[in-house]
């Protein structure tokens, strides 16, 4: 909870800074790097929630080349200083239907595995994306999925100039806790296999001792269009209007949410907890167009605050915000008519979209 609050503040302030910086500012790439790092940290928390059974994965159309491109700095930090990464990313590539967090985990695990195979020597890791057409003979030699049909696939290939593997090692590479390097990363390749299986894909392995190894991951082509907005771009906003009450006990979150809403043209009122929110709401409920309400607060939590607000004004649109996943957070509001939900850490687009939809009804 506290960690997601801090990420929300950092992400929000980085987006506000990007709005104020022109394209040529030398500070812009640094701020974009901060934003990307926060997004990766948010994905890490989602992965930890997944391991604990609390995760929520979102399958959406993704541009695989763009996902790799946005990870280049993080990948470089994750490998041996003697290893060099070379990229060959297809620019015009079909989308895949996938969870971005899980795809990034596949990329990271394959690159780290390649770095370990290179070891203390100098070597090259090649990361490639593209499209390919495969036939039944090709599919007969892959790990998973027995039901794949021949046709076009989007691929991710990670190869290295490391030690390579013999046949026996290749047969065990996806076993949990098996590793050619005893570095404690024994779940890495098993996780890759599980994620690819969950995305109805396949993996092909090429390797020779003393030559190196290549892992080629195949993803089915999406039938949807991928969103074209770049992650580093500032949110495009229409001029908004209305009064929004922001209720959150964490000052940094309250402040950044207020700043983002103000930048979009809203008038913002704020309250430090449920009690303060109700006191303010009783006097101004006729003028408030929407409420952004935190779930976990001292004195009076989000559920009790929501209930009391609805007694004062039954039609007030309330957008719930929480670091918990949507299903867990909203279960306690079942049948009570929440106008929306925003998971922490949220970016400017998520917040403004949820508030605008709530006000429009």
Residue 133 lies in a domain: yes
In a domain, 270, yes or no: yes
pTM value is 0.57
Q: In whole numbers, what is the pLDDT of the chain averaged over residues?
A: 84
Domain co-membership, 145 together with 284 = no
Which pLDDT belongs to residue 232?
A: 44
pLDDT at 48: 60
The answer to the question of residue 226 being in a domain is no
Higher pLDDT, 325 or 183: 325
pLDDT tens-digit profile of 37-90? 887 777 766 656 554 445 556 788 999 999 999 888 888 888 888 899 999 999
Most confident of 142-146, 164-168, 269-273: 269-273
For residues 125 and 188, membership in a common domain is answered with yes
Residue where a domain stops, chosen among 193, 220, 247:
220
Please give the residue that has the higher pLDDT: either 227 or 342.
Answer: 342
Question: Do both 172 and 250 map to the same domain?
Answer: no
The alpha carbons of the chain give a radius of gyration, in whole angstroms, of 24
Helices 188-198 and 100-118, packing angle to 10 deg? 150
130 assigned to some structural domain? yes
Asked whether residue 200 falls in the same domain as residue 74, the answer is yes
Number of C-beta neighbours around residue 123 at 10 A = 20
Please compute the mean of the pLDDT values over residues 137-160 and round it to a whole number: 85
Instruction: Calculate what percentage of the chain has a pLDDT beyond 90.
Output: 40
Tell me the average pLDDT across 170-196: 63
Of the listed ranges 57-66, 127-136, 177-186, 329-338, the one predicted with least confidence: 177-186
Residue 185 pLDDT > 50: no
Q: Residue 351 domain-assigned?
A: yes
Greatest pairwise CA separation for the chain in angstroms: 76
pLDDT for residue 131: 94
Does 38 fall in a domain?
Answer: yes
Local confidence band at 27 (pLDDT 50, 70, 90 cut-offs): confident
The answer to whether position 59 is within a domain reads no
The CATH number of the domain holding residue 360 is 3.40.50.2300
Same domain, 327 and 203: no
CATH number, domain containing residue 208? 3.30.565.10
Same domain? For 107 and 36 the reply is no
Q: Which domain holds residue 140?
A: 64-220
Q: Which of 210, 183, 42, 252 is nearest to 121 (CA)?
A: 210
Assign residue 297 a region: left if phi > 0, alpha if psi is -120 to 50, beta otherwise? beta
Q: Is 344 within 8 Å of 8 (Cβ atoms)?
A: yes
Q: Each residue of 204-256: pLDDT tens digit?
A: 988 888 889 999 999 999 877 555 544 444 444 555 679 999 999 989 899 99
Q: Is pLDDT above 90 for 29?
A: no
Q: Are residues 48 and 24 in the same domain?
A: yes
Rounded average pLDDT over 13-33: 85
Same domain for 199 and 160: yes
207, 74: one domain: yes
For residues 91 and 224, which has the higher predicted lDDT (pLDDT)?
91
79 and 173 housed in the same domain? yes
What pLDDT, on a 0 to 100 scale, did the predictor assign at position 231? Answer: 44
Mean pLDDT calculated for residue range 253-275: 93
In a domain, 227, yes or no: no
CB 131 within 8 A of CB 155: yes
For the chain, the domain total comes to: 2
Question: At which of 164, 194, 220 does a domain end?
Answer: 220
Question: Which of 159, 188, 220 is the last residue before a domain boundary?
Answer: 220
Quick one: 83 and 150 in the same domain?
Answer: yes
pLDDT band at 33 (very low <50, low <70, confident <90, very high): confident
b/e burial code for range 161-191 (CB count within 10 A of at least 16 → b): bbbbbeeeeeeebbeeeebbeeeeeeebbbb
Same domain, 295 and 204: no
């Amino acid at each position: 909870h506290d960690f997601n609050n801090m990420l929300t503040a950092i992400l929000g302030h980085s987006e506000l800074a990007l709005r104020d910086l022109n394209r040529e500012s030398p500070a812009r790439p640094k701020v974009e790097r901060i934003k990307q790092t926060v997004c990766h940290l948010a994905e890490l928390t989602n992965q930890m929630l997944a391991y604990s059974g609390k995760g929520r994965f979102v399958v959406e159309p993704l541009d695989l080349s763009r996902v790799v491109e946005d990870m280049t700095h993080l990948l470089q930090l994750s490998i041996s200083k003697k290893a060099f990464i070379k990229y060959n990313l297809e620019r015009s590539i079909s989308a895949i239907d996938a969870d971005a967090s899980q795809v990034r985990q596949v990329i990271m695990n394959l690159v780290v595995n390649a770095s370990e195979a290179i070891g203390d020597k100098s070597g090259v890791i090649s990361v490639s994306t593209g499209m390919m057409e495969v036939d039944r003979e090709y599919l007969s030699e892959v790990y998973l999925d027995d039901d794949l049909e021949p046709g076009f696939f989007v691929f991710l290939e990670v190869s290295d100039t490391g030690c390579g593997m013999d046949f026996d090692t290749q047969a065990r590479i996806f076993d949990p806790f098996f590793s050619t390097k005893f570095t404690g990363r024994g779940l890495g390749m098993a996780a890759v296999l599980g994620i690819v299986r969950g995305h109805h894909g396949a993996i092909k392995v090429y390797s020779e001792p003393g030559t190196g190894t290549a892992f080629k991951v195949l993803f089915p082509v999406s039938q949807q269009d991928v969103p074209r907005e770049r992650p580093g771009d500032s949110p495009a906003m229409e001029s908004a209007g209305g009064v929004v009450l922001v209720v959150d006990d964490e000052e940094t979150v309250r402040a950044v949410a207020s700043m983002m809403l103000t930048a979009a043209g809203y008038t913002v009122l704020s309250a430090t907890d449920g009690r303060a929110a109700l006191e303010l709401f009783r006097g101004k409920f006729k003028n408030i167009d929407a409420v952004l309400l935190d779930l976990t607060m001292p004195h009076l939590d989000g559920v009790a605050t929501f209930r009391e607000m609805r007694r004062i004004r039954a039609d007030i649109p309330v957008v719930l915000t929480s670091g918990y996943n949507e299903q867990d957070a909203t279960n306690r509001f079942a049948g009570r008519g929440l106008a929306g939900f925003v998971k922490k850490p949220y970016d400017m687009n998520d917040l403004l979209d949820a508030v605008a939809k709530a006000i429009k009804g």
